[in-house]
Amino acid sequence: MDARSIIAGLRAGRTPSAAELGWFAAGLANGEVSDAQAGAFAMAVCLRGLGAPGRVALTRAMRDSGDVLEWDLPGPVLDKHSTGGIGDCISLLLAPALAACGAYVPMISGRGLGHTGGTLDKLEAIPGFRTAMGEDQLRAQITDVRCAIVAASARMAPADRRLYAIRDVTGTVESIDLITASILSKKLAAGLEGLVLDVKVGSGAFMKTMAEAQALGKALVGTAQGAGCMTTALITDMSQPLATAAGNALEVIEVMETLTGTSVNAALWDLTAALGGEALALGGLAADAADGAARIEMALESGAAAEIFARMVAAQGGPADFVERWPDRLPSAPVMREVPAPRTGYVISIDGAALGHAVVHLGGGRLREGDRVNPSVGLSDLAGIGEEVSRDLPLAMVHAATEAEADAAVRAVQAAYGFGDAEPEEPPLIHERIA
């Protein structure tokens, strides 16, 4: 086999065989496939598509291009993946809640991408928290604590790491075939028995329309199941931030308030229960999704999820007393500024991507690869759709490193909100289930 013939066949409309895709993925991992050939392959897939069987074959090939974990545990190995949004800190609640319900959760997570925040960046706002972990360490922590939230090792799905970087500079990021293989190759390399997907739709998501979200959700579910992992997906709303905060330490604060019951965010609670319920049902730990959701809620209410979270933080290098002392342990920004509403009325729309970019420009994300993230900056107390505002009721609070950055963020937040005189309907949290 050779890259040239595989690319030529794709260009002519012929889907490569599983063996050819396996060879190509191995070539991406070991360097036999050049950057030019990888770019040509990505463009051919973007233009011609692979179809459902080709998506499954590419996903399996990229998964198998590196280490694939196998587990021998007394309970199911489960995980969740979100396609990304603003204020989406569900993973920090869901991983310990699933573990408290009897699952084992080796959650392979990522960093911020574009305007969306990253789970690893949020956790690294906790002093000392380590997201890099070797396989032996991961196995020991999963056996002991039942959950870990870590970065993918260099040996997991190396074909995806190479192809993703090339897609980013060749204008082929939007291909559903390549998105699907990229997401699932890393997740399935963790040896999962069940996976629940949170496919975001709306202004703060990568998928802006329901048609786009449905197409991606169906591709992800069909491909994951075709690759041997039981999977369901929920299409969830991202027309406004999920939490009332956007920014790494600020989102951890909201997670801790919900975990400890000091100030529960209903949207975070409800979506954690819904996603967790699906996962527990897939893993045979609940009769159905509704039963699973009730079990997740009990894990949150009883403090069992908070206890697991504390053990996970300590095991990954964070403070042993984090759950008890989190207000003292998280960094805070030196400049805080209220965002005045420009008029009286109701919030009728929010540009979530604009809010995400505001956080990035505050230093809470990366404008360039390698940028250092400031964990303390961001936005809190964000007004939601349907909320009544006036000049006396701020839209949000800016947390910034400098006065100039605070000024710019105030203007960006004001521009991201739309206002009206009539109270709008609040969008549903969950739009659709795909199984």
First-to-final CA distance of the chain: 37
Active site (annotated) includes residue 17: no
Out of 161, 167, 295, 399, pick the active-site residue: 167
Out of 175, 182, 232, 239, pick the active-site residue: 182
Active site (annotated) includes residue 182: yes
Distances (CA, A) of 272 to 168, 337, 428: 31, 31, 15
Active site (annotated) includes residue 431: no
Active site (annotated) includes residue 239: no
Asked if 43 and 170 count as a contact pair (C-beta separation under 8 A), the reply is: yes
Out of 65, 91, 119, 236, pick the active-site residue: 119
Active site (annotated) includes residue 399: no
Out of 64, 79, 121, 237, pick the active-site residue: 79
Active site (annotated) includes residue 208: no
Asked if 178 and 59 count as a contact pair (C-beta separation under 8 A), the reply is: no
Active site (annotated) includes residue 80: yes
272 conformational bin, left if phi > 0, alpha if psi -120 to 50, beta if neither:
alpha
Out of 60, 146, 162, 187, pick the active-site residue: 187
- How far out from the chain centre does Cα 34 lie? 30
Active site (annotated) includes residue 81: yes
d(CA 206, CA 114): 9
Active site (annotated) includes residue 79: yes
Out of 55, 63, 81, 161, pick the active-site residue: 81
Out of 186, 311, 329, 357, pick the active-site residue: 186
**DSSP per-residue codes, 334-381:** SEEEEE--SSSEEEEEE-HHHHHHHHIIIIIS-SSTTPPP-TT-EEES
d(CA 325, CA 319): 9
Out of 65, 82, 83, 203, pick the active-site residue: 82
Out of 55, 60, 63, 80, pick the active-site residue: 80
Residues forming the active site: 79-82, 119, 167, 182, 186-187
